[in-house]
Amino acid sequence: MSFDDGFDKPRATRTPADYVCQITDSVCDSLTKLGRVTDATDFENNFFQPIMELFKLGWTADCQWTAIEDPAALNAALRANPKAAALIPQGAKLELSRAWATLALLFCTQAMVAENTGDTTTAWTNVIDARFAADAVISQITDREMIALHKHGMAKRGAAARLERSPKQVAKAEAKKFWKDRHDGKHPKLRTNEQFAMECMRRWPALTSTKVILGWCTAWGKEARPKSLPAG
């Protein structure tokens, strides 16, 4: 992905407002992927607009920085503004993707205010801070994907471990040792594989199919054959 994706204007002609639009779109996309909003309309009505209401009441990015460290402060500020009720985090723990998204949008708003008043230095500074906060939201997507992969791997390893500990697998391992002993001539009475299979089922009740055991015998026999040397 290019740094210029989403920009139609040459780099030298871009303004803070151009980046504000890109960052806002990025936040909307990230929140949608995380399931925090359903689409752009939901983002506009139930996330962006309430934040603008907070900004009008004096809620700034500096306030949000404090709120990330102190969720109670954010709860109190949000409850003081009924129009921002949609931003109230559920439960006692501040939900990080919403917190960073709120911070990004507040920086974007401050960048626009600064640009409109001619203070381009402050505008660009807020754009950079907004990009940082928006990237923190994006990282939540990566974290979620990594957690899902970790859980999937743990589940697979757990299933494999349970399979290895299953009575049938334990019995199969013992039967293979028994087969090697027979292959080495230690059980002369078991002349056929069918007799061997019946004895295995007597010794290990978890084994219930002569057909399966006969298949194992065939596979074990192939494993025990000496490897042929290459011609020449």
Q: What is the pTM of this model?
A: 0.51
| Total Cβ atoms within 10 A of residue 200 | 24
Q: What is the pLDDT of residues 35-72, one digit of tens each?
A: 888 899 988 888 888 778 777 767 676 766 665 556 56
Rg of the chain over Cα atoms, rounded to whole angstroms, equals 33
What is the DSSP-derived secondary structure letter of residue 231? P
Of 143, 71, 72, 59, which Cα lies nearest the Cα of 103?
A: 59
Quote the tokens at residue 223: 């494993």
pLDDT score at 144? 53
CA distance 84 to 93: 18
Report CA-CA distances (Å) from 29 to 18, 109, 135, 141, 165.
Answer: 17, 18, 12, 11, 45
* Helices (H) then strands (E): counts for the chain: 10, 0
Give the CA count within 13 Å in the CB-facing half-sphere of 229.
2
CA distance 78 to 101: 15
Percent of the chain residues past pLDDT 70, beyond the cut: 69
Q: What is the pLDDT of residues 103-144, one digit of tens each?
A: 888 889 999 999 999 999 999 998 998 898 888 888 777 645
Domain locations along the chain = 11-160, 167-223
What residue type is 62 in one-letter code?
D
Of 90, 160, 123, which Cα lies nearest the Cα of 23?
A: 123
Instruction: Write the DSSP string, 60-101.
Output: -HHHHHHHHH-HHHHHHHHHT-GGGGGGPPSSSSPPHHHHHH
